[in-house]
Chain A
Amino acid sequence: MSYSDPQSPLVRIEVDGAAHPVPEGITVIQAMWKIGRPMIHGVGCLGGVCGACPITYRLPDQLTSKTALACQTAVRDGMAITFIPSDSSKKAIALIPAAPPNQKTLFQYYPETRRCTACRACSSVCPQEIDVMGGVRAAINGDLSNVAEKFTSCVMCGLCAAVCEVQIRPHRVGMYARRLTGAFYPKEATRLLQRIEEVRSGKYESAWNQLLSADDAALSKYCSSEEAAQKLAS
């Protein structure tokens, strides 16, 4: 499987202090393969959604480092890269309560959340560009559905927790707020509940009997005729 054009020009990257020439236009993860660096930790979906590969990197014309996901970042000349362990903060055993949540529900597991100093460090490191601090503030205000919305695209890389000076774990707060919001959604999905009831009450039994006893020709007829399908399915 080729993942780079053999003709592409080389750029020099620095990984944990050592310099390596690699082809231009590949991702940081692909560059790790290219330079023969073992990749077991710090690699995952390669599609930007699993949060396994957070890195910091600095470019020659920059004073400070940036954070990113290694599978979503193309190498650039002079890039100095360090891999960071994914999601190193501790997760609370936070179960879904029996009764609908209130403000205390979240704080009993993540009490440090209230200490937020609004420094914005969490938002600045998020590779998903989430308004992390806004999410933390919404959690403090008890607006769980707003927290849930803000953390929709969270890949749980944990960079936000790693940089928080008061040890808030925003991604975990976001995850718990999402679960609470989902489990206690204010309106019922009535059509789903009806369908479950229909299945339980045996509404489709005769259709299943016909289908599972049908030979290939009969099945084929059901599949190809809208009329037959309609009759069977209703």
Chain B
Amino acid sequence: MSRLDESKSLVIEARAARMKETQALLSAEEKDALIRRYHPDFRKEAYRPIRLGPNQGEQTVHELANLLEGESPVAAEAISLSPQHQVDLLIIGGGGAGATAALTAKAAGAKVLLATKLRLGDSNTVMAEGGMQVAVSAEDSPVRHFLDSLRGGYMKNDPALLKTLVEEGPEVAKWLMDLGVLFDREEDGNLSIRGGGGSSKPRLLRCKDYTGLELMRVLKDCVLNEQIELLEFSPIVELLTDGAGSCTGAILKNLDNNQYIVVQAKSVLLATGGIGRLHIQGFPTSNHYGATADGLPIAYRAGAKLTLQDTFQYHPTGAVYPEPMAGILVTEAIRSVGAQLVNVKGERFINEMETRDAVASAVIRECAEGRGVETPAGRRGVWLDMPMVDLVNGEGTLAHRFPNMLRQFSRYQIDIQKEPVLVYPTLHYQNGGIQINVDGESTVPNLFVAGEASGGIHGRNRLMGNSLLDIIVYGRRAGRAASKRATEISFGSTTLRHLDLFHDAQKKAGVVPQTVSPMLFPDYAKKNE
């Protein structure tokens, strides 16, 4: 029997005893010490100061710093800036935030162009499993949602952004339901809710473990029904400005013929998502193929300030075995209904409902101190004992509530109703991003941001279920504000003056760009260039 199989037997043997054990929550001091010692955000060698721009001198990870200081792909080329498209609002990104913004702006009467790197809908949204937090129950309230999120975010959330998020949650849930989103319901018609890590009350709305897929399918269907103008396979490569600091459009790149597309717009909305595919610190990721943080370096060159750009979420439970599943998310909701985390000896080592940063740190600790399990490909992980879900809640619960999880593992002959699986933290979310106000506007006039590309709402750690809420609430707000702005102003001149200023700043800071940014695709995926 292999060591892996031996350890698996221990997990199964110890299950009955573990079911009776309780694992206390960590005290504030214990949690702080655990995170400081083991969370990847605290690895000093992974960080360096940003050497120029609005966040000069502040720390971020090497991978992002290199992008922010990077060279524009259009900088060295003589390209015509006469626009091929003129629109009120250009939205970049076809995930949940971009699609929501497009629908809202179209409804407000704006002429909208939606450009996206891959297909409409290709995004992290579609992959979200666990749910969307909305305070609906009688014992809950938006205020409680606010306090839980603030505590989870280490009090670094922007209070005004967070208040708007939680307060508009119920209204946004209704909006989605009116579009035809089918959340799980109770017998009496009320929304079925569950608990999530760090939340004092259950408030996760969900559609089995396909919540993001359900949202994205409906939003995509609506965008197609509205016949909003679409440019697929056309990522953004640079913004355009008027030379006086305001955003006036963008340059896209048609991936099929490598031609640039110049779009003049009264306002631009970045919904370009997060950073997972940069594999910060070598971590695997739960993210979409296109999650290469394209909006960040582009906005930064145009002068937008970032916030909390030094903090990332490592989801505690990414699969590590079998190898083709490495990085794929195992939803937190499975822990909230009884699945336990156990080490190589079959021992529990953390209360599974701690916040994600604490649970991830505890998993890293177990592996660092030799209590992890090694896979044949040389990865390390701990066990997530999923069969407990059926033991605690009744046979068939896993199959009914987590059909996606069951199917994904069954493709590799692993039955999660019978066996535990190996997990390790996977790079999941960019906690920070481009700084916005409650209308989703960045520090660059007429440049709006929504979704994971923005920063401030979630502080230094996002609670489960708050990002699906964020993309809809702020997708709507930014879409509305950006289309309103477009009615108030006329087209500005389209220049790349901000790149000249950026070059001057590079020279002054002695920065030699190490890369061209945006990255567009992860470096291991060879591209048609």
Interface residue ranges, A against B (CB under 8 Å):
1, 3-5, 8, 25-27, 30, 33, 36-41, 43-50, 52, 72-74, 86, 91, 93-96, 128-129, 148, 152-156, 175, 178-183, 185-193, 195-196, 199, 204, 207-208, 211-212, 216, 219-220, 222-224, 226, 229, 232-234
Are B180 and A179 within 8 A (Cβ)? yes
In this assembly, does B36 line the interface, its C-beta being within 8 Å of a C-beta of chain A? no
Within the complex, which residue of B127, B188, B522 is in contact with A1, where a contact is CB–CB below 8 Å?
A: B522
Cross-chain contact B188 with A187 (CB below 8 angstroms): yes
Q: Cβ of A220: which chain B residues have Cβ within 8 Å of it?
A: 155
**Chain B 324-367 interface 0/1 with A at a Cβ cutoff of 8 Å (1 = within):** 10101100000000000000000000000000000000000000
CB-based closest 3 A-B pairs: A187-B189, A179-B180, A38-B528
| Docked CA distance A114–B463 (Å) | 46
Could you say which interface size class chain B belongs to? 35 or more
Look across to chain B and name the residue whose beta carbon is closest to the beta carbon of A92.
B225
Given known A49-B127, A223-B147, contact A199–B142 (CB-CB < 8 A):
yes
Contact flag A45-B288 (CB < 8 Å), given A195-B170, A223-B155: yes
Across the interface, do A50 and B122 meet the contact criterion of CB distance under 8 Å?
A: yes
How far, in whole Å, are A5 and B527 apart by their CA atoms in the complex? Answer: 22
Please tell me if the beta carbons of A185 and B528 are within 8 angstroms of each other in the complex: no
Once the chains bind, are A47 and B328 in contact (CB under 8 Å)?
A: yes
| B179 adjacent to A96 (CB under 8 Å) | yes
CB-based nearest A residue for B208:
A152
What B residues does A30 contact at CB under 8 A? 324
The answer to whether B213 has its CB under 8 Å from any CB of chain A is yes
In the complex formed, the residue of B with least CB distance to A96 is: B180
Q: Do B323 and A189 have beta carbons less than 8 Å apart?
A: no
User: 0/1 per residue, B184-224, Cβ < 8 Å to A?
Assistant: 01001111000000001000000110101110011001001
Across the interface, do B143 and A207 meet the contact criterion of CB distance under 8 Å?
A: yes
Q: Does B37 contact A (CB under 8 A)?
A: no
- Contact assessment for A179 and B221 in the assembled complex, using a CB-CB cutoff below 8 Å: yes
25 A-B residue pairings within 8 Å (CB atoms): A3-B323, A3-B524, A4-B377, A25-B322, A25-B324, A36-B526, A40-B521, A45-B124, A46-B288, A47-B328, A52-B118, A128-B407, A152-B182, A152-B403, A178-B217, A182-B182, A183-B178, A186-B189, A195-B136, A195-B170, A196-B174, A199-B142, A199-B171, A208-B143, A219-B155
Contacts A45-B127, A93-B225; A212 near B180 (Cβ below 8 A):
no
Q: Give Cα distance in the complex from A124 to B326, angstroms.
A: 28
Give chain B nearest CB distance to A57 CB in angstroms.
Answer: 14
Contact A153 B407 (CB under 8 A): yes
Contact between chains at B141 and A234 (CB < 8 Å): yes
Across-interface contacts of A46 in B (CB, < 8 A)? 288-289
Asked if A152 and B210 sit within 8 Å, CB to CB, the answer is yes
Chain B residues with Cβ below 8 Å from A211 are 143, 146, 159, 163
Give Cα distance in the complex from A152 to B218, angstroms: 12
Question: Do A191 and B122 have beta carbons less than 8 Å apart?
Answer: no
CB-CB under 8 A from A188, the residues of chain B are 189
Taking A1-B279, A185-B189 as known contacts, 4 extra A-B pairs with beta carbons closer than 8 A to each other, sorted by chain A number, are A1-B282, A1-B523, A52-B122, A187-B188
Q: How far is the CB of B233 from chain A (nearest CB, A)?
A: 6
Docked-complex contact B322 and A5, CB < 8 angstroms: no
Cα separation A211 to B149 with both chains bound (whole Å): 13
Q: Are B171 and A5 in contact (CB under 8 A)?
A: no
B191 CB contacts on chain A under 8 angstroms: 189, 191-192
Contact A192–B170 (Cβ < 8 Å): yes
Which residues of chain B (155-185) have a CB below 8 Å from chain A? 155, 159-160, 163, 167, 170-171, 173-174, 177-183, 185
Tell me whether A204 and B407 are in contact (CB under 8 A): no
Query: Given that A25-B323, A223-B147 are contacting pairs, would A52 and B119 also be in contact in the complex, using a CB cutoff of 8 Å?
Result: yes
Q: Hey, which chain B residues are within 8 Å of A193, CB to CB? A: 174
Contact of A72 among B118, B146, B208, B411 (CB under 8 A): B411
Closest to B522 in A: A1
The complex places the Cα of A191 from the Cα of B136 at a distance, in Å, of 6
- Chain B residues positioned under 8 Å from A93 (CB to CB): 224-225, 227
Closest chain-B Cβ to A39's Cβ sits at a distance in Å of 6
Residues of chain A within 8 A (CB-CB) of B378 are: 5
On whether the beta carbons of B233 and A47 are closer than 8 Å, the reply is no
Residue of B nearest to A214 (CB): B159
B150 within 8 A of A: yes
CB-CB under 8 A from A43, the residues of chain B are 118, 289, 525
Contacts of B111 in A (CB 8 A): none
Shortest distance between the CB of A82 and any CB in chain B (Å)? 19
| Interface contact B527-A40, CB-CB below 8 Å | yes
State the CA gap A156–B121 with chains docked (Å).
11
The 8 A CB mask of B223-241 against A (1 = contact, 0 = none) is 0110100000100000000
Q: Is the C-beta of B376 less than 8 angstroms from some C-beta in chain A?
A: yes
Q: Closest B-chain residue to A181, C-beta based?
A: B182
Contact status A26-B190, CB under 8 Å:
no
Q: Known contacts being A93-B225, A179-B218, is A33 close to B180, with CB within 8 Å?
A: no
Please state if B119 and A191 are interface contacts (CB–CB under 8 Å): no
How distant is the Cα of A64 from the Cα of B74 in the complex, in angstroms?
48
Q: Would you call A182 and B404 a contact (CB within 8 A)? A: no
Bound together, the chains give a CA A94 to CA B224 distance in angstroms of 10
A11 to B421, CA, bound (A): 26
**Complex interface: chain A residues within 8 A of B208 (CB):** 152-153
Q: Interface readout for B118-155 with A: 1 if CB under 8 Å, 0 if not?
A: 11011110110000001111100111101100110001
Residue of A at shortest CB range from B411?
A72
Q: Does B465 contact A (CB under 8 A)?
A: no
Q: List the A side residues contacting B141 at CB < 8 Å.
A: 204, 233-234
B506 within 8 A of A: no
Q: Give chain B residues whose Cβ lies under 8 Å from the Cβ of A1.
A: 279, 282, 284, 522-524
Query: Inside 8 A of A40's CB, which chain B residues have their CB?
Result: 118, 233, 255-256, 521, 527-528
In the assembled complex, B483 has its CB within 8 A of some CB on chain A: no
Q: Is the CB of A178 within 8 A of B180?
A: yes
| Residues of chain B with a CB closer than 8 A to A229's CB | 143-144, 147, 200
- Bound together, the chains give a CA A170 to CA B134 distance in angstroms of 33
Tell yes or no: B408 within 8 A of A by CB. Answer: yes
On chain B, the residues within 8 Å of A155 by CB distance are 213
* A233, B147: Cα distance in complex, Å: 9
Is B527's CB under 8 angstroms from A38's CB?
A: yes
